[in-house]
Structure 1
Amino acid sequence: MSSLSGKVQTVLGLVEPSNLGRTLTHEHLTMTFDCCYYPPPPCHEATSKETIMMKNLFWIQQNPYSHKENLQLNQETEAIKEELLYFKAKGGGALVENTTSGISRNVQTLKWLAEETSVHIISGAGFYVDATHSSETRAMSIEQLTDVLINEILHGADGTNIKCGVIGEIGCSWPLTASERKVLQATAQAQAQLGCPVIIHPGRNPSAPFQIIRVLQEAGADISKTVMSHLDRTIVNKKELLEFAQLGCYLEYDLFGTELLHYQLDPDTDMPDDNKRIKRVRLLVNEGYEDRILMAHDIHTKHRLMKYGGHGYSHILTNILPKMLLRGITENTLDKILIENPKQWLMFK
């Protein structure tokens, strides 16, 4: 592991952590999301089959998982290349691509995008939620799953020599399934051997992040090198959030740009808007957790791309940071959240 120690592993090879710059820690550049297709009511079935255009864009923005074309982000490689060039021009340096097995990971496309744009791209190893697990994945032992994760980092993913630089996003449902629990245990074992960063997609319940951390801890994971994603839609209660923050993992607010009246994947949750996300980040900063906060957009559907009138990968840099400054979060703190924290997390031990 000495060759990886102190380095970040991108799809183009090892880089010094200091070269990353401003980093988004949870994005997708090519994937499919058919596993979360949400059939529309009969009165909107025709709209769900139309191409994306101005007259149906608002409906798609509010019902993103009911429009089948919208779930095929893998069709937009050229548009995403242009977005990454724009992201670079606005001061972006790197992003973590969280697409894992089960949602059409394509590391060759990631390598091409990195070569074309000079943005550092770190690819994720592992498996998404149970609904996407193959019969082969379900049949594997913890040891076999561990070997898969280690191989994707040390040798290459999907039959290529393009290596992953992080485990995740590891998908968890609520309640956690037996197959997902095995993957979590394998993640902990692989992390213990490699000293690598890990990132988790929790189930949509406030108890899910707590349960996942317990499973990881019991299996030997390094919680200080682990990210809990999607806290903006998962732990909305302030007291519970501060209790969770004490567990020592990275706290990721990664749905910036998502503002929904009705959250299709969990109707009981009122999705916060960006102003509320900023308030949560400020709360965590004020409570002393500024060295554990990460931010991203988790773009995984077409409608969030600038090509379709969406906010794109530069939204945090161009719109959120100025608002955070207005709300009393200092430039030094923002540099810690976007540069120093990702650098520390992504660096192999």
Structure 2
Amino acid sequence: MIETVLGPIEAAGVGRVNMHQHLLSDASALCRPGVEPTPADERVTAANLGFLRWNALALADNLRLDDPELAAAELRRAAGAVDLVVEDTSVGLGPDHPALPGIARAAGVHVAVAYGFYVTPTLPGWARDLDEDAVHTHLLGALVDRVPGTGYRAALLGIMGTTGEVPAVERARLRGAAAAAAQTGACVSVRLDGGARAGTAVVAEMVAAGLPADRILLTNADEYLDAAYWHDLLDAGVTLEMCFGTELQHAGRMRNPSDPQRLDFFESFLAARPDGRWVLGGSVWMKAQLRRYGGEGYDHLTTRILPELLRRGVDPRRLEAMVTSEPLRLLDR
């Protein structure tokens, strides 16, 4: 069974899965000054899109997905091509879990929730104060009882945030999450710091806490297009997540590859690693990524990326594994 915001569903009835999206979130804690003067109108508008492509974190409005009706309308564009999306907004990034059932109903798309703790600077005080045992208890409750403030359970734990070489407080949170997931058959998604190479140590820490490596999903692997590192991570037994559609930059803080760069790397790596396990996602987390504001939207994966991978000669069976069988293996508890 897969836990969704409208209740559990049979995994066998689910087709394509987009493994990483954000429907309602508030990442304004990540807001930073840009390298250009801030526009007089600090909202996301057509006139500000050029500014945001190079100063993506400079406008707090860009970092808030705060309109349930707009979220439903945008997600509805993916209905039919995608059966289920995973809503990955961690504590610390302003999740609005109670509003998600209404969005799922209005869009006609199953929504499953990942529940976890993002990086320390973003966390509210109550979450920062949890020790390893308290993290374990809290996350276990989201899996077996309900996500706080809702009537549904989490499908998986995550995204657990890490920074640099992963300080002790983050390692404790990872161990707490790993133990909770191991008790329930759930998986845990973890975002590695793209500037560090601590992934194998993270996996070892979680495996030591009782979670099999094949229940660990490393999100946003497109942020570190490093073939040797990818080989090491896959050798550790995990699944890697490749996301497409985030191309905005913030000088000195955030530098994303373009989708053509992602596609070139991924195509080459797939040929070199036929035994690897991947899932695919979109990771829309800024207003400028929504179609209303000129972005690619929640249907980018199925409208553009999957057809392009097919055009490049990727085996359709491998692609179906990435968007169906592997996501369902991770989500089915």
TM-score, normalised by the number of residues in structure 1: 0.90
Structure 1 residues 331 and 181: CA distance shift in structure 2, 3 A: same
Task: Single out whichever of 297-306 and 14-23 deviates more from structure 2.
Answer: 14-23
Paired letter, 2:151: N
CA contact (8 A) 2:214 2:237 kept: yes
1:127-206 equivalent positions in 2, closer than 5 A: 127-206=117-196
Paired residue for 2:30? 36
Paired residue for 1:226? 216
CA contact (8 A) 1:290 1:336 kept: no
Mapped to 2, the partners of 1:173 and 1:323 lie a distance apart of 33
**Runs of 5+ in structure 2 lacking a partner?**
none
Mapped to 2, the partners of 1:314 and 1:182 lie a distance apart of 36
> 2:29 aligns to what SS in structure 1?
helix
RMSD between aligned residues: 1.8
> 2:39 aligns to what SS in structure 1?
helix
- The answer to whether the aligner puts 1:305 opposite 2:261 as a matched pair is no
Aligned length: 333
Structure 1 residues 250 and 212: CA distance shift in structure 2, 3 A: same
1:208-247 equivalent positions in 2, closer than 5 A: 208-234=198-224, 236-247=225-236
Task: Find the partner of 2:74 among 65, 83, 89.
Answer: 83
Cα drift, residue 167 of structure 1? 0.1
Cα drift, residue 115 of structure 1? 1.7
Mapped to 1, the partners of 2:233 and 2:187 lie a distance apart of 19
CA contact (8 A) 2:182 2:210 kept: yes
Q: Deviations over 1:238-285 (max 9, x none)?
A: 22222222111111111x11224656534xxx5322122223332343
Paired residue for 1:4? none
CA contact (8 A) 2:56 2:250 kept: no
CA contact (8 A) 1:107 1:162 kept: no
Mapped to 2, the partners of 1:301 and 1:276 lie a distance apart of 21
Mapped to 2, the partners of 1:211 and 1:288 lie a distance apart of 22
Task: Find the partner of 1:108 among 77, 86, 98.
Answer: 98
Q: Deviations over 1:279-301 (max 9, x none)?
A: 33323432344661111111111
CA contact (8 A) 2:98 2:149 kept: no
Cα drift, residue 177 of structure 1? 2.7
> 1:167 aligns to what SS in structure 2?
strand
Q: Deviations over 1:174-208 (max 9, x none)?
A: 24233211110101110111110211111232413
> 2:153 aligns to what SS in structure 1?
coil
Task: Find the partner of 1:12 among 6, 9, 28.
Answer: 6
Cα drift, residue 78 of structure 1? 1.4
TM-score, normalised by the number of residues in structure 2: 0.94
CA contact (8 A) 2:52 2:248 kept: no
> 1:196 aligns to what SS in structure 2?
coil
Cα drift, residue 137 of structure 1? 2.7
Paired residue for 1:292? 277
Q: Deviations over 1:26-82 (max 9, x none)?
A: 1100010012111124x51235x53222222121122211111111112x3212211
Mapped to 2, the partners of 1:264 and 1:314 lie a distance apart of 30
